[in-house]
Each structure stands twice: as structure tokens, then as C-alpha cells.
Structure 1
């Protein structure tokens, strides 16, 4: 996810509420966690970041066999977390024996209190304020959690995946996670170009070189904008507050909690009457009683006016009934969204505390050049021209074509041997993460690309 800082519109807050052959055989196959398809969420120790106890670590959601010879490491986008890729990972591993998928949770995930989702009353725990909230005024450490910190952490993950060079590593990401992967490839790690650590790059609806120019709000990286944003961080605004524009609360974590709660109840009791609906802000509350699945649909489906970057094509509320349920008619069944949102207490789909400095650094990374501004921020983007590994780029309707055009420019200005470019304008920004396997163009086209990497 890469949410725009220009304010979130929901049609004026509801406007009145009203090689794919191999994968085709997977579409009807139920997922099972056998010995070769385990899912584990494991911590990795990383360098000191100055945060509270327990924060000097990252986590990885591993899907697939540990005996795999190739590991696809995926980085979630803005406010995204490891469970963004759980469903895609299952589908890829089922289609490609010999591949394991690692989904990266940044160190910020250690700051979230998810204990309530392991109990019987998560609604009360979170909405009645019993959870451990992080005070921005006491979180000055996060002012230093920018791209350099993230990439050093990510390198720990990449090296662990490689097992001393005995396994191939493919690095990718979604949205700003794709930008992060590209930054890693061009980064100078004390004289070692990042791209030498990986065998290929996978960009899902994100990237650099103007990848987001087709959205309603491109990157904000002029020297004047950067200076203003850094001053705000120095003044204590250490967390990005974009999601507060949704209208579900004014804390950094408020919206994320609401969405995970909606997923939790929709996963456990989809047809029961929504327990969250009475607690919702009036402007966002459905006008008719809805089920738990119905409320999740209202929060995520594009038909209710949510911006492209936080919505999917799922379906609609039932036309009648005392309590309206959810009817799946789109490419992304609401049950799959609920499964992803309710994956645990951990991992989760939403990151609670996104550092504002990371937002600044990723915007400045967009030109993909070793500029004076980049150097002033400690961004070591010195090796973009040397990239020499294959690249896959996938775009939805989100950026209106600029994801692929930007990827083509990267390839043209580097030593990348070939690029694979795929487009599905019937998808919104989050559909590739949760869509049904039979209708997911991302997995259908990524499989042959990865197979080519395996055979190289």
C-alpha cells in the first residue's frame, strides 16, 4: 500500500452510503500445511535502532519448504505487513515446487500491541483503550527509522535466505515495497552493490523513476517539500498520519486497528450481525444492519468509494434482509480478505506505526539517482546503472500505466538482461494480494517468470 498524503476521499465520505498453465491446476486445490508447506513466523535479530526493548528485530513469514533452492523475499508497501503476501505465497508455492516465499515485517511491527486478538474480546481491548498505545512524544527514536535502517534490516533477511550463497534469492515488493526492493538493488553496502545479492527483481504495482506519476498524488520530493517534512519530524511528527484521513480515529494506529478488527470478526463469524457497526463513526456507519462480513466488505470494496490504493473488487451487500450479508461477485472474495486480515494475532496485514522519515526517503528514492538531495539524506543509490538481473513488473489500474513505463525506463538505463511486463486494469491496488487464484493475473504471470529464474 502506498497511500496518498493529499487526503483520502471516499466520494465525500460515502456520498450517501448507498506460464499460467501450471497455476491453473492450483486454482481448485485446497491449501494444506504439510511437512513441505509449513508456515512459520520467525524473528531475526538486526542492528540497534534505539527503540524500546524487543524492537531490534524483524520478522519473516515463511511459506513453503525449507528445502527450497530459491527464496522469493517480498516487502510490503506503506502500512503493509507480512500477511499481505500469505495468500499469494501459498499459491506460488503450490505452483512452483522448489520455491519458498518469505514475507518481510519491518522492525516497526514490534511496536504494535496485538495481544487483544488472542483473547475473547478484541473489540473491548482496542476500542475501549486497554491496549498499549505508542505515544509519538516518547518515540523520538522513530525519527531515525528511514530507508537506510530498513535496507540494513532487509539485508539481514536476504542473507539469511541465501544461506551463505547456497540458495537463489529473488527480491520483490508491493507498492512502496517494490520501491524498497529497487532501492536495495541500487544501494551501496560498503562497496557491495545490493543487486549482487539477488537473482531477479519483482515489482508489484510500484517502483521508481516515476512509477507513481499516474496516481492522483505523485511523490513529494522537491527540496522545499523535503525540508518541510524533515522539520515536521524534528518537531515530533515521527509517524506518518495519512491513514487518519479515513475517519476511523486520529491516532497513528486507529485505522489499522479498525480494519484488523473487521477482518477478525468476519473471519470467525462472517454471517453474524456486525459487532463493530454500532461503534463506527456515524459518517462511515452503514445505514442498514450488516453482518461481520458485510462490514468488512463496506470497508474494503471499491464500490463504496474507497480510493484505489486501499480497495479491492469484492462484491456488494445483499439487496434485502433484516441484516445484510455480503455477496461475492468480484475477483477478490471477502473471505480471502478476512483470512489475510485475521492471520493470527501475528502476522497482520497492517503496520501500525509507519515512520514519517521512511516516507520522505522513499519519495526521494523515486528518481533512482545518486543526487545531492539523496546523499544529504544518507541514501546510497550508487548502482542503478549496474543492475544486471531480470525484472518483472506488474501493474493494476492504480497508476494508469506508469508502473510499467517506469520499469521499462529502469531496464533501458541499466544492464538488466530482460524485463517482463504485465497489466491488469480490472484490478485495484490491493486485488493482486488477495484475489482468488483463478482470477489473479499476478500469480498467473509471475509463475512463468519465476520458473525462468529457477531454470537459469
Structure 2
């Protein structure tokens, strides 16, 4: 979902108080409607067996969310970003399938998704199941296997998905991703699979607000890829810090999965009873709890809307709290209606939007892969980035305001140093990092620009 959570210096409590005092997020300019949601689109969530990874029973598989007809001649395989999961792409996939005949979208869920206990979302009271501690939680001290789940493991798993999507050569495969998922897609293209480059199986690449070669430099957070930093990070993993805890900065708990659970709960209640009094509000930490009663939908808005001080990488432009009422509701004024966020975040319970247990080793490898070339450091980590210079498939690049223009500039550097025949670039600085995933289709620049690239592939 996000490359890495960025903390903010704003007091969350003061931001909430200001918003409730009547400061509203201004409405954004509308765009003409150009697409409609697909009605009755075929969807399935299916497992694909992959190699053994040393994890618990049931973890030697990945899943894909398939949206669109199985008869499609083009499959767009999408990889979610950091802490992201397949349901990141369900709404976008529906919108793309509605516009592009002959396309099916496969949203990739890494093997880590098998580690989450989502059974509580099949009950009538998921808040009690999770917040009262009844769910199965992984202890890092007994999860040493995750210390080996890095980029090499992810790309071997992704290869199984790409080959399945190709159907023995009957379909062409376009590989893409969002944020660090875009980085993953680029690494796949340059990867050496037993002497063959990853791009040999692909017809094109699609980068959504991510990439390599300094793509994230504009967000002000340097890549931690010096040999000294890598040694320190690997030592921490060997010492038991096998899961990335970046999301604990949100303030919803200190465990690897705490924030993800809260966000899925917020989506679950907002989806099922948007106008009812918030079930979660009484149980929220003081710093994040709105000081007046709000609805389930409004609480989700408080957790995702940029107007409440959240960093660009975990927020959308949705709207604001109602300025009056015994229980404050949510008012949509932005490009991303809160109902669409709720639909995605609620899950089914699977697939979900959030990955609970992100391996710290994968974070290390993706930082190092940013150089996008074969070096002593990449080889020491087993990163087989041998074929970046030979990359010869078309490229689509979409950037929001998130990285202040470096998504595109980095992609142009890749094009200049490879054999990419042509590239298409699109920018919407009115979007935050997550808006392209959930925005209303008629107001989503990604939804309106990507179809022409796909249909124009030659």
C-alpha cells in the first residue's frame, strides 16, 4: 500500500479538534464521467501453489484475486505495495475491466497473507474478536522463517503467478504494481530466472506511484541501502525483528498487525452500517478518538482522509465530518468517496487491503533493489538484477503528488538506460498516494489513462 509509513509532526488530537470545530476540506473540481462500474463482473479468489518457504502449514501458496472474464487475451497482474494486499485493486480492476474488453486483472497476494487470522470478520462482532485478543497472533520470537522471506522469495512466487496468467502462451501478460509493488514489478522484469530475464514473459510494465532508481526520493525519506545500514538491518532480523513495524507509528498498537486490524475493522463497520454510531470510537486510543460522537463512516474518514493530518502515503482526498448533529456523519467532497474506501477496507473477509505481517527482509531487499543494477551488495543479498539494461517492453508510469515528481524522472532514467521501446507518463498532483486505488472512476486519472495504454499495446 505504502512504500513506508511517514510520521508527521502534527498532534493528532489537535487536528481532530480543529476539524470538528468546522474546518472542512474544500471540494475538489469534478471531471466529466467517462466510465461506469462493471455490472456482474466475474470475480474469484484462488490459491496458487508455490515453493516451500519454511513457514507454518498452509503458507506455501499465494492467492490471486481475478476480476474479469477468463476468456480475456490480456492479463494485467498487479502487485500491492508495502502492507498492501489484493483488495487494494478490486475497485480499480472492476473499472478497468469495464473499459477495456478482453482484459482480466489478477491482483497478487503474497504468501504472507496466509499468516493472518481473518476469521473474526465472519462473525457478528469482529471488534470483540480482535480487540479483546481472541485472534491468532504471530510471535516474532517463533517466526524465524519470515526472516528469509525477502525479494527472491517474493519474485519466485510471482513467477508462478505470471506463468499461470500466461496460460502456456495463450495470453499476454502485463505486470504492474503500486508503490513498492511497482518496485517489485521492475525487479521481476530485470531478474534472472535460471538464465532467462523476467521481462521475456511480459508484454508491458505498469508503474503506479512507485519504481526504482530514486523513484521515492521526492518524498524526503532516503533509501536505507548503504552497506552499513544493510548490515545493521540484517543483524536486527537475525536478532528476531523479523516483521516490519513501521505502521505502529499510526498509534493504534505496537504489534506488527495492530494498525491493519483497526483499519479493516473500521472499513467493516463503515461498509455494513455507515450511518450508525461508531462501534470502534469508545475503544480508540485517546490521541485518535474524535471528541464528539461520530458514525462508522465518519470514523473511517477520520482514519484515512488527508484533512486530518495523515501523511500522503496513507491518505486519500475524501471529504470531511459533518459540522452538526448529535452523531456526526461524513460528507463526501473529494475524489474518493468514503463508501468506496469502506468497500475495499472491509474485505470479504478475504481478500483484504492490508497485509498483517510484512517481512523486514523484504523491506531491506526492496531498498537495495532501488539501484536497479547488478552490484556486489545486490549479489550478497541474492538479488539477481542482471537484466535491467536489456529491458525491452513498453512502460506506463503514473504519479501522484506523493513523491513530488521523482516517480516520472526515475522512470525516464530507466528508459534512457534500457531498450524500452516507448513509455507513457501521466501525473495527477491532485491525488494522494492511495487515491488511484479507490477514487471514483469518473474522477480517477489512472482509470481514464491506463486503458488507452493497454489497448494500444503492439
Fold match (TM-score > 0.5): yes
SS of equivalent residue, structure 1 residue 283:
coil
Other-structure match for 2:388: 384
**Aligned partners of 1:216, 1:298: CA distance in 2, in Å?**
25
**Aligned partners of 2:81, 2:386: CA distance in 1, in Å?**
23
SS of equivalent residue, structure 1 residue 284:
coil
Other-structure match for 2:24: none
Listed as ranges, the matches of 1:340-379 within 5 Å are 340-379=344-383
Deviations 1:114-162 (A, max 9, x none): 0000110100000000000011111000000000000000000000000
Shift of 1:343: 2.3
Deviations 1:216-269 (A, max 9, x none): 212111111111100000000000000001000000000000000000000000
Other-structure match for 2:182: 178
Listed as ranges, the matches of 1:17-416 within 5 Å are 17=16, 18=18, 27=35, 29-33=36-40, 37-416=41-420
TM-score by length of 2: 0.96
Other-structure match for 2:8: 9
Deviations 1:167-201 (A, max 9, x none): 00000000000000000000000100000010000
Contact 1:56 1:107 in 2 (8 A): yes
SS of equivalent residue, structure 1 residue 248:
coil
Contact 2:183 2:210 in 1 (8 A): yes
SS of equivalent residue, structure 1 residue 282:
coil
Contact 2:77 2:162 in 1 (8 A): yes
Deviations 1:426-452 (A, max 9, x none): 000000000000100011110100011
Contact 1:62 1:100 in 2 (8 A): yes
Other-structure match for 2:22: none
Shift of 1:287: 1.1
Q: 1:423 to 1:103 in 2, by over 3 A?
A: same
**Aligned partners of 2:300, 2:148: CA distance in 1, in Å?**
35
Deviations 1:75-127 (A, max 9, x none): 00000000000000000000001000000000000000000001101000000
SS of equivalent residue, structure 2 residue 426:
strand
**Aligned partners of 1:24, 1:389: CA distance in 2, in Å?**
32
**Aligned partners of 1:70, 1:3: CA distance in 2, in Å?**
28
Contact 2:38 2:97 in 1 (8 A): no
**Aligned partners of 2:15, 2:136: CA distance in 1, in Å?**
35
Q: 1:10 to 1:98 in 2, by over 3 A?
A: farther
SS of equivalent residue, structure 2 residue 212:
coil
**Mind listing any 5+ residue stretches in structure 2 that lack a counterpart?**
19-30
What number of residue pairs does the alignment pair up? 445
**Aligned partners of 2:454, 2:447: CA distance in 1, in Å?**
10
Contact 1:10 1:307 in 2 (8 A): no
Contact 1:3 1:310 in 2 (8 A): no
Q: 1:30 to 1:55 in 2, by over 3 A?
A: same
Other-structure match for 1:441: 445
Contact 1:26 1:91 in 2 (8 A): no
Contact 1:272 1:291 in 2 (8 A): yes
SS of equivalent residue, structure 2 residue 127:
helix
**Aligned partners of 1:390, 1:296: CA distance in 2, in Å?**
38
Contact 2:12 2:308 in 1 (8 A): no
Listed as ranges, the matches of 1:424-435 within 5 Å are 424-435=428-439
Shift of 1:24: 7.0
**Mind listing any 5+ residue stretches in structure 1 that lack a counterpart?**
none
Shift of 1:3: 4.4
Root-mean-square deviation over aligned CA pairs: 1.2
**Aligned partners of 2:159, 2:351: CA distance in 1, in Å?**
20
**Aligned partners of 1:85, 1:16: CA distance in 2, in Å?**
30
SS of equivalent residue, structure 1 residue 72:
strand
SS of equivalent residue, structure 2 residue 218:
coil
Shift of 1:25: 6.6
Contact 2:37 2:94 in 1 (8 A): no
